[in-house]
A and B are shown apart, each in its own frame.
Chain A
Amino acid sequence: MSTLKAQPRLYSSRESILTLKAHLSGKQAKIPKNPTMEDYITYIKKLSNRLKQGPLDFWIPNVFRRLIQVIRLMSSEDGFFPIKDKEKNFKELGLTILRKSIRSKTTVETGSETGSNAIQQDVILPSIEQVLEELEAHSDDINTFASTHFFTNEVLLVYEYSTTVLNFLLSAKKTRNFEIIVLESETENLGKQFATDLGKHNLNVTLTPFTNAYAIMQRVNKTLLGVDAILKNGGLLMHPGTYAICVLAKQFAVPVIVLSGAHKLTPKYAFDQTTFNQLVSPLKINPNSTIDQMSIGITFDYVPPEYISLYITNQGQYTPQSIYQLFSDFYNVKDEDI
């Protein structure tokens, strides 16, 4: 989805869902003749394994997990999970209506081979549409909370590029004025890019290098972060440097707010910096690296849950202590091995 990520990926989450759709519609999928729900699910799991790029690719398995969960819900008889808020309620209503229309179709056609195939397709294709819609519209749902979290003339701290945060700030700008400080990491130009994109919309933006973080933090009222992955214990995986910022924010009692779509929820656990991490090529950090002066660079920073104040997702607002509830709604426990 975001082409500005540090590591370019072959498939974005959205594209991987579209490939699944293409496979199914083009009838190239290797599915047995009378496919049941389980066959489809195993096929999807295999596809996610194939499209995944390495053990640190969380995003593709996440969307496929979500897809499987939606399929399960759609095809089960009584698939209501507890109602949380009105918007969700309406979504479920939409699903039940869809489900009923499908069921009405099946009563007409009595399970012939092509019929049952078509039925499965009628369950799976709508759920694909549902997931795609969730992916695209997650920003709008997050922005509904935009105005409730800021006061006027506040100073916000942001780190590196995040489209979610960008949209959030642009929608918050309509109601009140604030100042933004963008920290930029030393290696990439993402910070500069973010500052220019924000500046185009007439926001008051200051760009500082990462080393000035301590000096600047005294002036900051809130920190906004985008994420790469939210872990099941409430921790975060993000661009390297985030851990240092969160430690500083705790020292200065600055609240840290994390914005993300729910497709970044990853049902895994980590406890230190090395669980999900990977060293990058030394030449990326310092083109003059040799064996004697090796440069070390990492891909992710793990932030433990105690440094974070609030998660704002398109499924609602959660604290790190309660975000596990969202996992049980969003995914199914059976699919966590993808």
Chain B
Amino acid sequence: MSEKQNQQNPKKGEPWKPKEKFDKKANKKKQEQEQEQVEGKQETNKQQQQQNQQPIIPQQTIDQQSSQPQLPINDKQIALADASKEPNKRKDFLSHLPIFQDYTSVSIKTVKQIDPFTLHHAFIELCIQYQNGQCIGSTHRCVEFLNALKQFIRDYKLSRQSNYFAMAFLDELKEIFNLMKNFRTVNEGMSTSYLFIRECLMILRDTRLDENESKIWLCNQIDQFIQSKIIAASELIVKNATQLIQEGTTILVYARSYLIENFIINYIKQGKQLTIFVVDNPQFGEGSQLVNRLQQQGISCYQILLSHVSYILSKVDKILVGASSMLCNGALVSRVGTALLACLASTHKIPFLVFCESYKFSEKSQIDSLSWNEIAQLQQGNENQQYTSLSLRYDITQSNYINMIVTEVGLIPATSVKAVIGEFKKYNYVDAIEVPRKEQ
């Protein structure tokens, strides 16, 4: 058994190879079989019988968060984290939301043995970081994902001719995305980068480059995406925002946003004064992270909790907030608690500004926060608790609460998001993609 494990478990540094048979049908069948087994397992769970030794694949959605006791780690089973026991009436109104199981690195390695389309080790590390909370924030997650993807591209080896690189890699990309959705929902930035890479692969398919060259070209394209859409965009946004905010204003910031952090640091380095209130969210700890980072730059600020915000609202001039994505109907998807702040801001007539790069614009529409959301796993799960706990990650702020969005294409109102998306669709998301040529 251990020899088998060693054979299948690739060591680090070795190029990762997919299994030789690219037989889609066989894989589909196997997946279906495994799904049935999982459902059967869930039924036995519900009847509270002893667990059979069946392989379990992480499922994307689970109907009810049934209480699953911890299992011994066999070579065919995954250790499930002890989900908190809840009474039967749990989450009637939220049973449609995806719930993610907690995986440890050991459990993921066992997944690798049974599933042919297993994740590259870079992605595994990334997914664990997503779950721990080490990697949160939309920009951070997207950049880390693209870095992991570049590493994967470098290690990827085809067993066939290079003409098929693009198509094979497209399939790989899809599989990666599907598997990653088991750990945390894919945010809008990651979806946009996925679409961009797909466009590149389509172009690559029509050219005649061999494997190495196409890999290099693809990595270059990803770098260009990061450079133009994230880094250059942030500089432009900071420049646009500096026009808006006069010296000596009092601003209120909620949770941590990469753009707002850059903006504050930039603004104060120019020698201007700002009074900063940071509203903290102790559940995710983002506010205190922001405060620490500002302090490292020598910027002092006040820290306050969301329930105490009413006290200082009369003294605040502007509210700045980062975004996870902007939706087509003008709604803002951001850290939970932003909508509350927006509602208070509109009552007190305080301008509410959103900082968002254009690659986070989405074609979805959503009106309220409960129809789609992500449930944040709380660390403590008391077995005897007679109440159910609920904690969301995202919040939808309606467009009438938002005064202005600061993007790299300019300062736009919330209702213009759709127009900007339309513009970008014409240009493959990053101006025209250069068609690759063979290197001499």
Contact = CB atoms under 8 A, between A and B. Distances in A.
Nearest to A280: B308
A196 B389 CA distance: 11
Interface stretch (A72-80, A166-174, A180-188): A180-188
A211 B310 contact: no
A297 B305 contact: yes
Contacts of A216: 390
A210 B392 contact: no
A186 B306 contact: yes
Nearest to A247: B347
A203 to B, nearest CB: 9
B303 A285 contact: yes
A268 B373 CA distance: 44
B209 interface: no
A112 B421 CA distance: 95
Contacts of B301: 292-293
A147 interface: no
A251 B339 CA distance: 12
A316 B392 CA distance: 39
Contact of A185 (B277, B307, B388): B307
A205 B340 contact: no
B387 A244 contact: no
B412 interface: no
Contacts of A244: 306-307, 309-310, 340, 343-344
B302 A294 contact: yes
13 contacts: A186-B280, A195-B387, A198-B387, A199-B386, A210-B307, A212-B392, A215-B373, A244-B340, A273-B310, A285-B304, A286-B303, A291-B300, A296-B277
Nearest to B279: A211
A273 B303 contact: no
B385 A199 contact: yes
B386 A295 contact: no
A273 B369 contact: no
Nearest to B397: A214
Contacts of B339: 214-215
A294 B308 contact: no
A100 interface: no
B314 interface: yes
A209 B376 CA distance: 11
Contacts of A212: 336-337, 390-392, 395
Nearest to B310: A243
Interface of B: 89, 93, 277, 280-283, 288, 291-292, 295, 300-312, 314, 335-337, 339-340, 343-344, 347, 368-370, 373, 385-392, 395-396
B239 to A, nearest CB: 28
Contacts of B340: 211, 213-214, 244, 248
Contacts of A199: 385-387
Contacts of A243: 310
B311 A214 contact: no
A207 interface: yes
A219 B337 CA distance: 16
B303 A214 contact: no
A7 B387 CA distance: 26
A195 B369 CA distance: 23
Contacts of A251: 343
A228 interface: no
Contact of B387 (A182, A248, A274, A293): A182
A255 interface: no
B343 A247 contact: yes
A202 B396 CA distance: 33
Nearest to B391: A209
A329 B278 CA distance: 46
A293 B282 contact: no
Given A196-B386, A199-B386, A211-B336, A296 B303 contact: yes
Given A212-B390, A212-B392, 6 more contacts: A208-B391, A211-B395, A212-B336, A214-B343, A239-B307, A248-B340
A196 B302 contact: no
Contacts of B282: 186
Contact of B291 (A210, A274, A277, A293): A293
B342 to A, nearest CB: 8
A24 interface: no
A305 interface: no
A206 B389 CA distance: 5
A25 interface: no
Interface string A231-264: 0000000011101100110010000000000000
B336 A293 contact: no
B305 A215 contact: no
Contact of B370 (A215, A248, A291): A215
Interface in A51-79: none
A200 interface: yes
Q: Which of B303, B304, B368, B391 has the most CB of A within 10 A?
A: B303
